[in-house]
Structure 1
Amino acid sequence: MGLKGRELMEKEKGINKQLLLLIMATGVFSILNTEMGFIGILPYIAENYQVTVVQAGWLISLFALGVAVAGPTMPLLMSRFNRKWVMVFILGLFTVCSTIAVFAENFYVLLAVRVLPAFFHPVYCAMAFTVAAGLAKTGEEPKMIAKINMGVAAGMVAGVPISNFLAEQFSLAFSMAFFALATWLVMLATLYFMPSMPVKEQLGYGEQLAVLKKPMVWASIAAVIFLNGSIFGVFNYLAEYLGVVSGIAPSLISILLLVYGLCNVGGSMLAGNLLTVRPLMVVKIFPLAVAVIYIALLGGGSIWPVMGLIVVLWGILGGINANINQYWIASAAPEAPDFANGLFLTAANMGCMLGTTVSGQFIDAWGTQYVVLGGLLFCLLAALTVWVQCYRQRSNPQLMVQTEQ
């Protein structure tokens, strides 16, 4: 083959790789859009179904619980099937359940169709992370993972503020129809443009489960639970906080939620480079940075200019957080990537569930302003867990495969 022929083949390969990343990032976006979009409409759900905001928060925490339960099992069980058709099925399920939610008149019906697709959420995301890492050059996996995590951040950009805006300007049902439309469009794109992806090298279930014998894997799971709890324990009540504590008009709340999501995208892009160069330093500093944000929020959350700056910085940290979580567990179990990504999603959603529950208790006890105390508690637990891991790694570098470069 001549030089031009080889260049053409490499160009086509590059285009296919970018197309594959785009479809998967968009798929993750549509699923996270459905998951996180409910954050922006919790006050409207509470009003429409005559439940408290904390009860409406079950739609977040129980979804997270469903992901947490399915994370270690579903990606493992479905790791042998053609990834394209698994993704098409999952996107179709999300579309059907979101469509039923539009017409649900009972809160518990809404809760049921909300939780069902959660069990397949980790399958799609785990596959996307694994495929993306496989497309990367050695040592640059965090950069590829960051592109998928940009889909997560984009889910917040489109999901939270747009769902809030649609509920405010039109209706709650109109807002939830947006979730169904997003997953349906990505399902069509996956069906027609994604190539078939049969699994060529199958790891046995026993081989993958063997990573659970490693103490560092369990320590990493705990760290991710606390890290994610520190972010989402407070963020899940952000719309309520902005309205009740900061006294911000509903139209401006939508804008601030959009700003937060855009900053998430920027944080995810930044994290891909940071975790490639100085991963341990980034992970050690992160809980302290979040704690500083919450202390500022506790003191200046009712001051509009201060709140705007806090949302920007908090959004950047939120984008970095998603990448840290995936990196931390994947580094502890690189020999079983699908299963490790499932564990990551379980730990992350357990953190979301626990953070939402604990912070909700602070709201019930003292009021919305003190939701940040739940976040600070999880920051402390995350810092202690991560620092102990880093200390043990310095004492015995073989505890983790991925070390700071």
Structure 2
Amino acid sequence: MFFPIYLLSAAGFTVLTTEFVIVGLLPAIARDLEVTIAQAGLLVTLFAFTVACFGPFLTAYFSRFERKRLFISVLMLFGVANAVAAVAPNIGVMAIARLIPALGLPVFWALASETAVDIAGPDHAGRAIAKIGFGIVCATVFGIPVGTLVSDAFGWRSAFALLSVLAFAKALLLFIYLPQSVHQHQASFRSQFAILRNRLMQGHVLLSVLVFSGMFTAYTYLADMLERLAGFDGALVGWCLMGFGAVGLLGNWLGGRLVDRHPLMASLTFCAFMIGGMVMVVPSMHSVPALALSLTVWGVTQAALFLVSHARLMKAAPQAPAFAASLNIAGANLGIGAGALIGGRVIEQFGLDKLGFAGAGIILLSILLAGVLMTAEPRQATCQA
């Protein structure tokens, strides 16, 4: 029963890795395409803003379609886009190659969990969602470092070529093994968008924007920080990112435990610890134990906040969980794009060594907002009662 879900989880790994792998490749792409690191960072912004602008609308529209054909089509789209990226001769073609998959990512991510529950049945819903989530988390914690190591060994284009092959291979596996399904209790297009009228829901989306803005103000350029400030070569940067990803599995476990107890408190707690990790990275660049500790704190909290933010929005709108998930994806990607822009400006105006402080400042704003939402939730519950 769970084999098709494992395949869907594996497909999710490829989809999410396509978005995030570029973070570890930015220095090499900038050198090869003869642009600045800040200009290369705009590729991250383009992908993220496209997801943010179109994600909820595309998810609400395509949620009525037969899921097997939909997921296979998304994977084939990713295969073509990654192939174009692998041969892109300039930054313009590369931008097109990043724009195309950005349209398919929110549709896949938001509907995958719902489809897994349809396959497994309501009695196994929790296990099904956990399996989908594992593929997504692995993409966020391992996709970037593996892509960086492949790039260092064979060139950055080879990373996109490998992702293209994987996308087509997984599309074939889904064609063979994924059963056909259409979600039976799909809310109407209008009723899904109605949840946006809720002020508390608007606050939750804004919280995702701030959290991911703070994260990616610094994380977008982490590979460049390790290269230029610590003096690491490409291989060592890749292994550092691998360690960053590995400790993220602990963050995923901790996030899963805390988010079920209190989603907003979990957000606040992990954000507080992330500030410490971000601020300490640059001062610890020339001390291996200190750098390892700061990257560990940052890596654990970042992975936890991916899961916590996703679950937090779904819990806030149980009547339309897939659409709520798409709102988190939109908010997160708006934050990712804004973070990449802010980080690029910080580098140009103040220097690479100030990124951690800039990111920490935005995370502090998210802590304040989480506190406001925690006081607003009981009042709304009282009003509804």
- TM above 0.5, one fold? yes
Instruction: Give me the whole-angstrom Cα distance separating, in 2, the residues matched to 1:136 and 1:223.
Output: 32
CA contact (8 A) 2:33 2:90 kept: yes
Matched letter for residue 249 of structure 1: D
C-alpha distance 132-100 of structure 1, shift in aligned 2 (>3 A): same
Q: What residue in structure 1 maps to residue 279 of structure 2? A: 295
Instruction: Give me the TM-score of the superposition, normalised by structure 2.
Output: 0.93
Matched letter for residue 364 of structure 1: E
CA contact (8 A) 2:150 2:156 kept: yes
C-alpha distance 302-131 of structure 1, shift in aligned 2 (>3 A): farther
Instruction: Give me the whole-angstrom Cα distance separating, in 1, the residues matched to 2:121 and 2:293.
Output: 35
Deviation at 1:400, TM superposition (A): 9.6
Deviation at 1:100, TM superposition (A): 1.6
Q: Deviations over 1:202-233 (max 9, x none)?
A: 32111111111111110110001111122222
Deviation at 1:180, TM superposition (A): 0.7
Q: What residue in structure 2 maps to residue 103 of structure 1? A: 87
Instruction: Give me the whole-angstrom Cα distance separating, in 2, the residues matched to 1:186 and 1:147.
Output: 16
Q: What residue in structure 1 maps to residue 316 of structure 2? A: 332
C-alpha distance 144-373 of structure 1, shift in aligned 2 (>3 A): farther
Instruction: Give me the whole-angstrom Cα distance separating, in 1, the residues matched to 2:384 and 2:214.
Output: 24
Deviation at 1:132, TM superposition (A): 4.5
CA contact (8 A) 2:251 2:302 kept: yes
More divergent stretch after superposition (189-198 vs 75-84): 189-198
**Matched length:** 384
Q: What residue in structure 1 maps to residue 25 of structure 2? A: 41
Percent identical among aligned pairs is: 26
Q: What residue in structure 1 maps to residue 111 of structure 2? A: 127
C-alpha distance 398-150 of structure 1, shift in aligned 2 (>3 A): farther
Stretches of structure 1 that go unaligned for 5 or more consecutive residues are 1-15
Pairwise mapping of residues 187-206 of structure 1 onto structure 2 (< 5 A)?
187-206=171-190
Instruction: Give me the whole-angstrom Cα distance separating, in 1, the residues matched to 2:131 and 2:367.
Output: 26
Matched, 1:54 2:38: yes
CA contact (8 A) 1:216 1:399 kept: no
More divergent stretch after superposition (22-31 vs 48-57): 22-31
Q: Deviations over 1:94-132 (max 9, x none)?
A: 001111221221220111111112011100000013334
* SS in structure 2 of the partner of residue 57 of structure 1: helix
Q: What residue in structure 1 maps to residue 297 of structure 2? A: 313
Instruction: Give me the whole-angstrom Cα distance separating, in 1, the residues matched to 2:25 and 2:222.
Output: 11
Q: Deviations over 1:301-329 (max 9, x none)?
A: 34222112222222111211111111221
More divergent stretch after superposition (289-298 vs 111-120): 289-298
More divergent stretch after superposition (211-220 vs 192-201): 192-201
More divergent stretch after superposition (325-334 vs 128-137): 128-137
Matched, 1:384 2:368: yes
Deviation at 1:279, TM superposition (A): 3.3
Matched letter for residue 203 of structure 1: A
Deviation at 1:278, TM superposition (A): 4.1
CA contact (8 A) 1:140 1:276 kept: no
- Aligned residues: CA RMSD: 2.2
Matched letter for residue 103 of structure 1: V
C-alpha distance 351-398 of structure 1, shift in aligned 2 (>3 A): farther
Matched, 1:234 2:227: no
CA contact (8 A) 2:281 2:295 kept: no
Deviation at 1:145, TM superposition (A): 4.3
Deviation at 1:398, TM superposition (A): 5.2
Q: Deviations over 1:176-200 (max 9, x none)?
A: 2111122122212211111111232
Instruction: Give me the TM-score of the superposition, normalised by structure 1.
Output: 0.89
Deviation at 1:157, TM superposition (A): 4.3
C-alpha distance 322-400 of structure 1, shift in aligned 2 (>3 A): farther
Instruction: Give me the whole-angstrom Cα distance separating, in 1, the residues matched to 2:183 and 2:121.
Output: 18
Instruction: Give me the whole-angstrom Cα distance separating, in 2, the residues matched to 1:268 and 1:147.
Output: 13
* SS in structure 1 of the partner of residue 179 of structure 2: coil
C-alpha distance 265-189 of structure 1, shift in aligned 2 (>3 A): farther
Instruction: Give me the whole-angstrom Cα distance separating, in 2, the residues matched to 1:260 and 1:187.
Output: 29
CA contact (8 A) 1:60 1:353 kept: yes
* SS in structure 2 of the partner of residue 129 of structure 1: helix
CA contact (8 A) 1:91 1:187 kept: yes
Instruction: Give me the whole-angstrom Cα distance separating, in 1, the residues matched to 2:37 and 2:3.
Output: 40
Instruction: Give the counterpart of 1:286 among 270, 277, 301.
Output: 270
Matched, 1:245 2:243: no
Deviation at 1:159, TM superposition (A): 2.4
Matched letter for residue 50 of structure 1: E
C-alpha distance 260-360 of structure 1, shift in aligned 2 (>3 A): same
Matched, 1:93 2:93: no
Matched letter for residue 293 of structure 1: G
Stretches of structure 2 that go unaligned for 5 or more consecutive residues are none
CA contact (8 A) 1:71 1:343 kept: yes
Q: What residue in structure 1 maps to residue 151 of structure 2? A: 167
CA contact (8 A) 1:37 1:159 kept: yes
Deviation at 1:63, TM superposition (A): 0.4
